[in-house]
Amino acid sequence: MKRLLGCILIGLTLLAGCYSAVELNDMMIATGIGVDWVDNQFELTLQVLNPGEIAGGEEKTSRTPVTNYHAKGDTMFEAMRRLTTTTPRKIFVGHIQVLIFGEKLAREKGVAETLDFIIRDHEFRSDFIIAVAKENKAKNVLSILTPMEQISAQKIQSNLEASEDFWGATRSVKLNEFVQSLVSQTKDPILSNVKLEGNLEEGRQQDNVEKLDPAAILQVDKVGIFNGDRLVKWFDEEESKGFNYLTGHVHNTVETIEYNGGTITFEIVDYDANFNSRYNDDELIIDVEAETIVNIGDVETEVSLDDQAVLKEIEDKLAERIEDLMSKCVEEAKIYQADIFGFGIQTRRDLPHLYEERFKEEWYEYFLTCDVQYDVDVMIRHGGMITDSLYDQMKD
Amino acid sequence: MRTQSDKKTQSIVHDQLSSCLKTNLTYIKEQLGHSTDLVVRHLHIGSKKNGMAICYLDGLVEKETIRDQFMSQVKRQAFSAKDPQKLKEEVENLITAVSAVEHVRLFNDLFKHLMAGDSILLIDQVKSGLIIDTKGGNSREIDMVTTQEVVRGPKEGFVERLESNIALVRRRLKDRNFWLKSYSIGTKTQTTVVIGYLNGIVNPDIVKEVEERLSRIKIDAILESGNIEEFIQDDMYSPFPTVYNSERPDAIAAGILEGKVAIFVDGTPFVLLVPTLFVDFLKSSEDYYQRSDISTMIRCLRVLAFFIALLTPSFYIAVTLFHQEMLPTTLLTSLAAQREGIPFPAFIEALIMEVTFELLREAGVRLPSSVGSAISIVGALVLGQAAVEAGIVSPMMVIVVSFTAISSFVFPSYNLAISIRMLRFVFMMLAASFGLYGIFTGFLLMVFHLASLRSFGIPYLFPLAPFSFSGQRDVFWRAPLAQSKERPHLLSQINTTKNQTEPSSKKEIDL
């Protein structure tokens, strides 16, 4: 009996084993996917790594660090499988860093149809970043050779994250977050852009990365708002920032106010915002409360920073500036009927009964008429290494 | 041949010594096949020629004792008695002054003593012999330990001589309750096996069990304590050792103080200790000599090394074959670049390197130390570097194997390292077939097996399973001595207090 059991166990190990095993040198590691809408078909661009060119310690040849493959199909899955007609190995998508939509797809077709496959397939992660190629095809954006970061998909990902952390006009939206907003009844998604600056043809050449000043670079600077699954509007930089201020996604940024005929620039070092809903006299009111700690970074005007009253005045001015950015953004979003902030979700949390009775059915009407009230609290913490500005000192 | 010898020694009846000296001596010589190491020396008693003979085995006896203290005494003495019995008493009185004396009437006993290194004095016309304790001869001096070296702690180790080994422990346990019991095991080797324990602390049932298991052994030869271990261990087919062995007298003394039973075997420097717990193999005697904080850290390191040595190659196989999404992208890229152009699957690659390493290790152990360094050069340079450069194995695999190898040398006891070496291959196979799922299933089964083991009635995983809170003071955490006041619970339930030191008063000294 024991021997029989042993034989069965050994058989199980040796005969059934190795299912789904793939050797590392039998697979291609994909880092980025681009989707475009061409001739009523999806055009898929897959960026795969050329490990020998990227890994440290290996001898480099003149081959590119990444290679792109393209395929068309009526559905995403079909296009993905058609890719294998050109790829030499099995595609491994577990390390996808970015998913990029072409603007045409995002505006005309809508992105929802592309996502079902990506979420359904178990190999895809759900935490990679999504962006839209601004006024361009995803195919083109992914075909630029980038300096510093050899893998352009990785460059887009870290670029989005860095610019969100230190500038605050973009948001790195991950797949799961995007899908949650997409399926939500009230919330609308946003995505950041990836812009190709410069000459596309030159950017595709190897010598793009051999120049001090590359001929083509990729830039991320704005947020685009969606209505449902369609891109409807690119925010400008101020509105994009306002959006991040309102949703509390600013970590560190720079803000300038005018004062006394010159300017003062602040570094926002700590920022926190949240909003709540209340219902008052038949009017839905959203209270936005923000708190921020700032350092004075650049003074180009005459100002006595050792005066408490003056400091208070500057603080108020900065608060006003932030409120201004936020309200601009809200006004714009209202025009396109896109509740990108999640006011609806917050209202449901704060006023559950009213939401069920009244708002649920025609939320967007309430969204358009709601009154957003801002309360920004600014605190200046450090003035930097000098007190009086150089501007002042030169005068004396 | 047989009939001839029977005829010649027909005067020997029932194995009894005959009263004729010559007959006795002939019988002894014949029984020993006229072996060259048998020495027979005839002595005169007064005027009577060849009235006495002493025989011993050359090399087993202390020659000085025989020559200086005994022979010269007997020669110088003018024995007055004419009656052989009286004469014998006189001789006995004389020898008692210098050495222990016993009587022997049966040849069977006579040979036993002869083989053990005693000298036999036979007197004509006397039907019994005198056994003189002359055990001695050459054996290795007490030396530095070679297997369980420490930075701080006693350096002397056991040797092949049983008496020296017991003395080494006795010197550390000056307590009349340290009791020893001797057995002779092996029909041909007649190896002396001694069990030692602290009466009043040891669990008497465990002593009884040890005695019973020892007495069950019926074999012709016991050459090393490993032979004993195989007979008394609880589970013959387990890859894990359930008997601890050490070359260190302090480790054995500490074990006895915890209520364990030590088994000394003549002819080997390795002394056994039972019952044995799994965690014992992760402890070194130095842990108790260094400060508790650093000992705790080192123990945690050993636990880490246990997992590294057991699982690293299998993890590498599982992750690169099945779970590529678990690795950071940069690491995966680098691994993929290294595997580019390697002709073998990851499992075969790992197997090649692991087997190579095992070969090197085995070769290194067997070779004389003067050639040993050649092996390390061949191993490190030729095999490691050349294999990578030739593109047969990936550099990462070399790192994995080296890392595993270093970790497997961390254990203070060689026993456990062997089990891990074997199980590593099992885990590699599981990983190649089922990935992490296989590793975890295998690990689970291994833990089940460990939990099912017992060593002389004590659960092998104690104090982890069954969990004992007070037992945790000496597992991963080595509690400061001031705080550890009790002996391990399951081992001995009597006299558990071991430490009654008052906390120090921390008085300030006025200067």
Residues A51 and A104 both lie in one domain? yes
A37-51, B136-150, B394-408 — which is least confidently predicted? B136-150
* CB pair distance less than 8 Å for B322 and A27: no
More confident residue, B8 or A262: A262
Minimal C-alpha gap between B322 and chain A (Å): 5
Residues A225 and A87 both lie in one domain? yes
B375 within some domain: yes
Tell which of B95, B113, B133 closes a domain.
B133
Mean pLDDT for A274-286 is 90
Residues A162 and A252 both lie in one domain? no
Mean pLDDT for B65-85 is 73
A11 within some domain: no
Residues B97 and B182 both lie in one domain? no
Select the residue of A55, A92, A97 nearest B324 (Cβ to Cβ). A92
pLDDT at B461 over 60: yes
Residues A175 and A259 both lie in one domain? no
Tell which of B218, B252, B276 closes a domain.
B276
Q: What angle do CA B244, B265, B195 make, to 5 degrees?
A: 75
Of B33, B454, B40, B44, the closest CA to residue B242 belongs to B454
CA distance linking residue A147 with residue A133, whole number of Å: 19
* CB pair distance less than 8 Å for A54 and B337: yes
Q: Which helix (H) or strand (E) holds B187?
A: none
**Residue B329 with chain A: CB contacts under 8 Å:** 29, 31, 95, 97, 154
> CATH number of the domain that A353 lies in?
3.30.300.210
Residues B266 and B315 both lie in one domain? no
pLDDT at B451 over 70: yes
B244 within some domain: yes
Tell which of A219, A234, A249 closes a domain.
A234
- Percentage of chain B surpassing pLDDT 90? 40
Q: Which helix (H) or strand (E) holds A46?
A: strand A41-49
B219 within some domain: yes
* CB pair distance less than 8 Å for A13 and B429: yes
Among B145-154, B446-455, B479-488, name the most confident range: B446-455
Confidence of residue A182 (pLDDT cuts 50, 70, 90): very high
Q: How many domains does chain A have?
A: 2
Residue A104 is predicted with a pLDDT of 94
Q: How many CA atoms lie within 13 A of B493 on its CB side?
A: 5
Task: For A144-204, give the DSSP string.
Answer: ---SSSSSHHHHHHHHHHHHHHHT-S---EEHHHHHHHHHSSS---EEEEEEEEE-HHHHT
Mutate: best of A25, A96, A121, A156, partner B, most B CBs <10 A = A25
A18 within some domain: no
Mutate: best of B314, B317, B319, B329, partner A, most A CBs <10 A = B329
Q: How many domains does chain B have?
A: 3
Residues A62 and A134 both lie in one domain? yes
Asked if residue A263 lies in contact with residue A303, where contact means CB atoms within 8 angstroms, the answer is no
- Percentage of chain A surpassing pLDDT 70? 97
Partner residues linked to A195 by β-bridges = A219
Residue B488 is predicted with a pLDDT of 78
Residues A211 and A242 both lie in one domain? no
Residue A78 is predicted with a pLDDT of 94
Tell which of A179, A205, A234 closes a domain.
A234
Asked if residue A192 lies in contact with residue A170, where contact means CB atoms within 8 angstroms, the answer is yes
Residue B129 is predicted with a pLDDT of 87
Count of beta carbons in the 10 Å neighbourhood of residue B457? 12
Asked if residue A309 lies in contact with residue A316, where contact means CB atoms within 8 angstroms, the answer is no
Q: Which residue of A has its CA nearest to B345?
A: A23
Q: How many CA atoms lie within 13 A of B318 on its CB side?
A: 20
Residue B46 is predicted with a pLDDT of 64
Mean pLDDT for A5-17 is 71
Mean pLDDT for A220-243 is 93
- Percentage of chain B surpassing pLDDT 70? 95
Q: Which residue of A has its CA nearest to B330?
A: A55
Confidence of residue B48 (pLDDT cuts 50, 70, 90): low
pLDDT at B509 over 80: no
Residues A183 and A327 both lie in one domain? no
Structural domain boundaries, residue A242: 238-394
Mean pLDDT for A305-321 is 92
Minimal C-alpha gap between A340 and chain B (Å): 32
Residues A188 and A311 both lie in one domain? no
Residues A178 and A248 both lie in one domain? no
Residues A162 and A42 both lie in one domain? yes
A291-295, B50-54, B111-115, B493-497 — which is least confidently predicted? B493-497
Count of beta carbons in the 10 Å neighbourhood of residue B194? 18
Residues A45 and A78 both lie in one domain? yes
More confident residue, B11 or B411: B411
CA distance linking residue B210 with residue B206, whole number of Å: 6
Minimal C-alpha gap between A304 and chain B (Å): 51
The complex's ipTM works out to 0.83
Residue A16 is predicted with a pLDDT of 59
- Chain mean pLDDT for chain B: 86
Residues B433 and B298 both lie in one domain? yes
Residue B218 is predicted with a pLDDT of 93
Structural domain boundaries, residue B108: 17-133
Of A51, A54, A86, A93, the closest CA to residue A70 belongs to A86
Residues B316 and B413 both lie in one domain? yes
pLDDT, tens only, B222-258: 999 999 999 999 988 899 999 999 999 999 999 999 8
Residue B181 is predicted with a pLDDT of 94
A10 within some domain: no
**Residue A14 with chain B: CB contacts under 8 Å:** 433
Residues B296 and B269 both lie in one domain? no
CA distance linking residue A109 with residue A103, whole number of Å: 10
A308 within some domain: yes
Tell me whether A25 touches chain B (CB under 8 Å): yes
Residue A266 is predicted with a pLDDT of 94
Residues B105 and B169 both lie in one domain? no
Of B442, B433, B420, the closest CA to residue B358 belongs to B420
Residues B236 and B327 both lie in one domain? no
CA distance linking residue A293 with residue A273, whole number of Å: 12
Strand, helix or coil at B280? helix
Residues B311 and B443 both lie in one domain? yes
Tell which of A192, A208, A234 closes a domain.
A234
Strand, helix or coil at B397? helix
Q: How far from B114 is each of A390, B209, B444, CA to CA, in Å?
A: 108, 32, 55
Residues in chain B whose Cβ is within 8 Å of chain A: 320-322, 324-325, 329, 332-342, 345-346, 395, 429-430, 432-435, 438
B42 within some domain: yes
The tokens describing A203, both together, are 């950017």
Residues B129 and B218 both lie in one domain? no
Tell me whether A91 touches chain B (CB under 8 Å): no
Residues B175 and B319 both lie in one domain? no
Residue B5 is predicted with a pLDDT of 46
Residues B307 and B387 both lie in one domain? yes
A330 within some domain: yes
Q: How far from A210 is each of A57, A203, A205, A240, A391, CA to CA, in Å?
A: 21, 11, 10, 33, 41
* CB pair distance less than 8 Å for A17 and B346: no
A17 within some domain: no
Size of interface A-B (CB pairs under 8 A): 80
* CB pair distance less than 8 Å for A23 and B332: no
pLDDT at A251 over 60: yes
B283 within some domain: no
Residues B249 and B335 both lie in one domain? no
Residue type, B84: P
A32 within some domain: yes
B108 within some domain: yes
Tell me whether A11 touches chain B (CB under 8 Å): no
**Phi-psi category of B59—alpha, beta or left, where left has phi over 0 and alpha has psi -120 to 50?**
left
Minimal C-alpha gap between B429 and chain A (Å): 8
Residue B341 is predicted with a pLDDT of 84
Residues A127 and A265 both lie in one domain? no
B497 within some domain: no
Minimal C-alpha gap between A77 and chain B (Å): 20
Residue B4 is predicted with a pLDDT of 47
* CB pair distance less than 8 Å for B430 and A13: yes
Mean pLDDT for A214-239 is 92
Contacts of B341 (CB under 8 A, 6+ apart): A25, B391
Minimal C-alpha gap between B496 and chain A (Å): 43
Mean pLDDT for B57-80 is 76
B30 within some domain: yes
Q: What angle do CA B142, B143, B148 make, to 5 degrees?
A: 120
Tell me whether A97 touches chain B (CB under 8 Å): yes
- Chain mean pLDDT for chain A: 90
Residue B8 is predicted with a pLDDT of 47
pLDDT at B140 over 60: yes
CA distance linking residue A93 with residue A89, whole number of Å: 12
